[in-house]
Structure 1
Amino acid sequence: MSAHISATEGSVLPPPNLAIELINVRKNFGKTEIIRGANLHITQGQRHALIGPNGAGKSTLFNLISGRFPLDSGDILLNGTSIAGSKPHQINRRGLSRSFQITNIFHRLSVFENVRCALLWSLGYGYSFWHRLNGLKDVNERAEKVLEEIGLQARRNIEAGLLSYAEQRALEIGITIAGGAEVILLDEPTAGMSRSEAEAAVELIRKVTIGKTLLMVEHDMNVIFDLADRVAVLVYGEIIACDTPDAIRSNQQVQQAYLGSAAQSENSV
């Protein structure tokens, strides 16, 4: 990426440090073209929302970025290095972690054990039969800190499957951030929540992503305009706009393609 000019000073500024770059990304399923040359630049430390109508390809794009699906063409860069062709665990070890649209936890393990499992590899513990988990002081201390961050310390010994839906989503966010990834992908983090639950989730996401890069798929316009620094709009497999929430709200092309009256009412889509 080339340097750019400061409008206020006329000086040449270095390009921003990019956490994620999508370069002419394409993905087909059979003869059906799902992602059609998507381009997107996400600056380190920003919170981005990815929106678009049902069938636009949002989940497919998430799966391409996280390595669950291979690219057909184009490239994806993580902190300036290509991750095209990398496996999900390899991408995770390079600092990207994601949650899923459907809650993905170990229901029969305790809340604490769920978080601890997420920490093991990041703290240097691979598959081992001779380490007793209760004796891993660094893992257990970090797990306690994560539980405190997500507000589930009082529920640490409860089986995860017995948590409320909103608590399970909070636990999944905890699992996502536990390994210390600097780039976080959240897939519909407030789906199925009441308004008060969604507001609490937004505050949690805002807190745990301070200093990190966030890309989230979300349908609730209130959440998007409250949390995101920038919003990218995906329509029929192409990014048609990427701008600040206010600019997206007033963008005629976006209104026609997706937001419609929601741009004014800010109701959930």
Structure 2
Amino acid sequence: MSTLHTSSSASSSGFALELRDVRKSFGKTEIIRGAQLQVKEGERVALIGPNGAGKSTLFNLISGRMAPSSGEILLNGERIDGRKPYEVNRRGLARSFQVSNLFPRLSVFENIRCAVLWSMGEGYAFWRFLSKLDAANARAEEVLGMIRLQRKRDVMVSSLTYAEQRALEIGVTIAGGGKVILLDEPTAGMSKSETANFVQLIREVTVGKTLLTVEHDMGVVFGLADRIAVLVYGEVIAFDTPEKVRSDEKVREAYLGSALADQQTAEAGV
């Protein structure tokens, strides 16, 4: 595990999230190979790459679920590599997952309130912290409005549609007020119309925040991201605007050409 300390040189870097020569090995197999990334405050970045490129591993390293073998990860100038997930979260980074992380037997409102209380450091024991419930309730109601689920406030999560559950996951992710948001394939499994609505929702709820998202739908990527990071074999081989990434021959050879072709085939129903 990497040594943990605050990097004095990074405090004035101006980056919300920064990766410096990050590496991760499992035994003799190196999955992340010197990844470099600098995400500006308020920027929306899409992380793309072929299956097995290391995208999920990189997300796990950033969010604290894994520690890098070497290198530095900085959040607003402070090193977070080696910290536990809850420590990273309370420093302003929130993450959603590919697999639902909701409580199906609780209501929509209760799920959001859980996330709010957790961000306050209170866990889920509501009865112990009655003095803080007013603030938590107010924040939960605010988030409900942001994700357009006010009418489903008291509905059990297990009764929600798939798209509604994904919207709730976004709500749970942003409930704690984190300024840096990690979304892991947020539109996976959605129809074309659901995807379009969901992209608009993501845009709205991440205003003023920094977004890093893993996404396979190239339409979503090019429609949402300010910049695109292309990860291939554990290395960021390109990081630029959608227009420049689209025309980068190295990227097309490594990934983008085949990904766009696959999507066009799927849309044509072939």
Give TM-score scaled by structure 2 length: 0.89
The aligned counterpart of 1:216 is 213
The aligned counterpart of 1:10 is none
Q: Distance in 2 between matches of 1:261 and 1:129?
A: 54
1:131 equivalent in alignment to 2:134? no
| Shift in Å, 1:141 | 1.3
Number of residue pairs the alignment of both structures matches: 254
1:236 maps to a residue whose letter is Y
| Shift in Å, 1:65 | 0.2
1:227 equivalent in alignment to 2:224? yes
Q: Distance in 2 between matches of 1:90 and 1:62?
A: 15
Show the 5 A alignment for 1:182-201.
182-201=179-198
Q: Distance in 1 between matches of 2:217 and 2:56?
A: 16
1:131 maps to a residue whose letter is F
Alpha-carbon contact 2:25-2:31 (below 8 Å) kept: yes
| Shift in Å, 1:59 | 0.2
Which of 163, 168, 183 is the equivalent residue of 1:166? 163
| Shift in Å, 1:191 | 0.3
Q: Distance in 1 between matches of 2:60 and 2:156?
A: 29
Give TM-score scaled by structure 1 length: 0.90
Q: Distance in 2 between matches of 1:91 and 1:20?
A: 12
| Shift in Å, 1:124 | 5.8
1:238 equivalent in alignment to 2:238? no
The aligned counterpart of 2:88 is 91
1:62 equivalent in alignment to 2:59? yes
The aligned counterpart of 2:3 is none
Q: Deviations over 1:193-231 (max 9, x none)?
A: 000111111001000000100000000000000000000
2:144 maps to a residue whose letter is L
The aligned counterpart of 2:250 is 253
Alpha-carbon contact 2:187-2:195 (below 8 Å) kept: yes
Q: Gaps (5+ residues) in structure 2?
A: 1-11
Q: Deviations over 1:70-96 (max 9, x none)?
A: 110001000011111100000000000
1:19 equivalent in alignment to 2:16? yes
The aligned counterpart of 2:113 is 116
| Shift in Å, 1:142 | 1.1
The aligned counterpart of 1:35 is 32
Q: Deviations over 1:144-202 (max 9, x none)?
A: 11011001010011100111111000000000000000000000000000001111110
1:208 maps to a residue whose letter is V
Alpha-carbon contact 1:249-1:264 (below 8 Å) kept: no
Q: Distance in 1 between matches of 2:82 and 2:143?
A: 31
Show the 5 A alignment for 1:196-207.
196-207=193-204
Q: Distance in 2 between matches of 1:131 and 1:52?
A: 44
Q: Distance in 1 between matches of 2:89 and 2:65?
A: 11
1:192 maps to a residue whose letter is G
The aligned counterpart of 1:181 is 178
Q: Distance in 2 between matches of 1:122 and 1:162?
A: 26
1:74 maps to a residue whose letter is G
Q: 1:262 to 1:27 in 2, by over 3 A?
A: closer
SS in 2 for 1:108: coil
1:81 equivalent in alignment to 2:78? yes
2:129 maps to a residue whose letter is H
Q: Gaps (5+ residues) in structure 1?
A: 1-14
Q: Return 117-126 or 143-152, whichever deviates more.
A: 117-126
**RMSD (CA atoms):** 1.9
